[in-house]
Structure 1
């Protein structure tokens, strides 16, 4: 089995704790050697996942919590954001996300599902489970632009 470090945090499902997670993530990613751009991408993706949980998982009467786990591997960072609130239908969300047409005014863009689009765009791998609550598992590889000798590209880094 592959060796890795595991960090787990639980926060109240409140928007004011998103910054705490962004700082934690920044520290972990920096220690791993991610570039500034990759760290910013990670922070945006994780912020979107947490904000979605804060906004949609619990109603105003529930005091929910969000669990965030970091799997720290030599070549990648896996981040899980989980809540136990209401679930959603992923197919419905994807159907509501349409392609952007440059002729369409930006004011007409639908907001729902944009966070999932951002997460999917910024991360190397995204998996979502919504059987009980929502679990978003995001993976970002370290040095993603580099390739092995067996691949069909040559890395420009030494």
Structure 2
């Protein structure tokens, strides 16, 4: 297993660095183009959430991203150092239509991530949140 560890400032401009890294790693590992696009979008959403909600809201904070390359999967862990989140149900795979129509898009990013990757885990405490995304070569 190979690991790549990025530590980016809590600034949205650096989300692009992580997204490009995810795309390159997915392509290098031989994922089909569609799966690389899923990976890019899921990682982009997760990193954006970490920056906006857990990185201190400015450059002073940071977000860690760890890519772990396995023979059959790519695992991406996104770690922020914010206040944490309340209990989050990763099995919830529905978005309330009434909320969407009312313009309430809260939580949609987490739903989107869960639909784009094969496995999605969240651990959170008062000192930060860790999202672990896994995408397998064979789905």
Give the TM-score normalised by the residue count of structure 1.
0.78
| Contact map agreement 2:88 2:122 (CA 8 A) in 1 | no
Aligned alpha-carbon RMSD (Å): 2.4
Task: Tell me the equivalent position of 1:39.
Answer: 36
Aligned counterparts of 1:128 and 1:113: Cα–Cα separation in 2: 13
Shift of 1:76: 0.3
Task: Tell me the equivalent position of 2:63.
Answer: 66
Shift of 1:107: 3.6
Task: Tell me the equivalent position of 2:82.
Answer: 85
Match of 2:72 among 75, 97, 116: 75
What SS does the aligned partner of 2:4 have? strand
| Contact map agreement 2:10 2:59 (CA 8 A) in 1 | no
Aligned counterparts of 1:58 and 1:126: Cα–Cα separation in 2: 20
Moved more, 28-37 or 51-60: 51-60
Aligned counterparts of 1:100 and 1:89: Cα–Cα separation in 2: 19
Q: Which is higher, the Rg of structure 1 or of structure 2?
A: 1
Task: Tell me the equivalent position of 1:139.
Answer: 134
Q: Report how many residues are paired.
A: 138
Structure 1 runs of 4+ off > 3 angstroms?
58-62, 91-95, 97-101, 104-107
Give the TM-score normalised by the residue count of structure 2.
0.88
Task: Tell me the equivalent position of 1:148.
Answer: none
Task: Tell me the equivalent position of 2:2.
Answer: 5
Gap runs ≥5 in structure 1: 145-158
Aligned counterparts of 2:112 and 2:44: Cα–Cα separation in 1: 10
| Match status 1:118 vs 2:115 | no
